[in-house]
Amino acid sequence: MPQQRSGNTTIVPYLPLMGKSSCGEDWLTSKAAGRARKCFDGTIRGGQVLEVSGKKAIVQVFEGTPGIDTKATRISFSNSSMKLAVSEDMLGRVFNGSGNPIDKGPKVWAEDYLDINGSPINPYSRIYPEEMIQTGISTIDTMNSIARGQKIPIFSAAGLPHNEIAAQICRQAGLVKRPGATKGVHDGHEDNFSIVFAAMGVNMETARFFKQDFEESGAISNSTLFVNLASDPTIERIITPRLALTTAEYFAYQLEKHVLVVMTDMSSYADALREVSAAREEVPGRRGYPGYLYTDLSTIYERAGRVEGRNGSITQIPILTMPNDDITHPIPDLTGYITEGQIFVDRQLYNRQIYPPINVLPSLSRLMKSAIGEKLTRKDHGDVSNQLYAKYAMGKDAASMKAVVGEEALSADDKLALEFLERFEKEFVGQGPYESRTIFESLDIAWELLRIFPKESLNRISPKILAEFYSRKASHITRNASNEMSPLRFII
Model confidence pLDDT, tens digit, residues 267-277: 999 999 999 88
Mean pLDDT along residues 105-124: 87
Mean pLDDT along residues 336-359: 95
Mean pLDDT along residues 373-380: 89
**Whole-number average pLDDT of the chain:** 84
pLDDT at residue number 357: 97
pLDDT at residue number 107: 86
pLDDT at residue number 51: 73
One-letter-per-residue 3-state SS of the chain: CCEEEECCCCECCEEEEECCCCCCHHHHHCCCEEEEEECCCCEEEEEEEEEEECCEEEEEECCCCCCCCCCCCEEEECCCCCEEEECHHHCCEEEECCCCECCCCCCCCCCEEEECCCCCCCHHHEECCCCEEECCCHHHHHHCCEECCCECCEEECCCCCHHHHHHHHHHHCEECCCCCCCCCCCCCCHHHEEEEEEEEEECHHHHHHHHHHHHHHCHHHHEEEEEEECCCCCCHHHHHHHHHHHHHHHHHHCCCCEEEEEEECHHHHHHHHHHHHHHCCCCECHHHCECCHHHHHHHHHCCCEEECCCCCEEEEEEEEECHHHCCCCHHHHHHHHHCCEEEEECHHHHHCCCCCCEEEEEEEECCHHHCCCCCCCCCCHHHHHHHHHHHHHHHHHHHHHHHHHCHHHCCHHHHHHHHHHHHHHHHHHCCCCCCCCCHHHHHHHHHHHHCCCCHHHCCCCCHHHHHHHCCCCHHHHHHHHHHHCCCCCCCC
Q: Which of 29, 5, 27 is nearest to 17 (CA)?
A: 5
Mean pLDDT along residues 198-221: 92
- The answer on pLDDT for 317 being more than 60 is yes
pLDDT at residue number 26: 35
Q: How confident is the model at residue 188 (pLDDT cuts 50, 70, 90)?
A: very low
pLDDT at residue number 483: 39
- Cα 247 from chain centroid (whole Å): 14
pLDDT at residue number 13: 60
Identify the top-confidence range among 27-31, 216-220, 309-313, 440-444. 440-444
pLDDT at residue number 68: 75
pLDDT at residue number 55: 75
pLDDT at residue number 424: 97
* Lowest-confidence segment of 172-176, 177-181, 452-456 by average pLDDT: 177-181
Mean pLDDT along residues 181-200: 67
Tens digits of residue pLDDT in 443-483: 999 999 999 999 999 999 999 999 999 986 654 444 344 33
pLDDT at residue number 489: 38
Mean pLDDT along residues 169-174: 88
pLDDT at residue number 106: 86
Contact call for residues 151 and 315 (beta carbons, < 8 A): yes
pLDDT at residue number 52: 75
* Lowest-confidence segment of 37-51, 86-100, 262-276, 365-379 by average pLDDT: 37-51
Q: Report in angstroms the alpha-carbon separations of 401 from 145, 166, 404, 425.
A: 31, 35, 5, 18
The pTM (predicted TM-score) of the whole model is 0.84
Tens digits of residue pLDDT in 389-422: 999 999 999 999 999 998 888 899 999 999 999 9
pLDDT at residue number 105: 86
Mean pLDDT along residues 274-284: 87
Q: What is the CA radius of gyration of the chain?
A: 25
Mean pLDDT along residues 23-50: 53
Q: How confident is the model at residue 490 (pLDDT cuts 50, 70, 90)?
A: very low
- The answer on pLDDT for 484 being more than 60 is no
Q: Which domains does the chain have, with CATH numbers?
A: 3-81 (2.40.10.170), 84-370 (3.40.50.12240), 381-484 (no CATH)
pLDDT at residue number 79: 73
Q: How confident is the model at residue 18 (pLDDT cuts 50, 70, 90)?
A: low
Mean pLDDT along residues 217-242: 91
pLDDT at residue number 488: 37
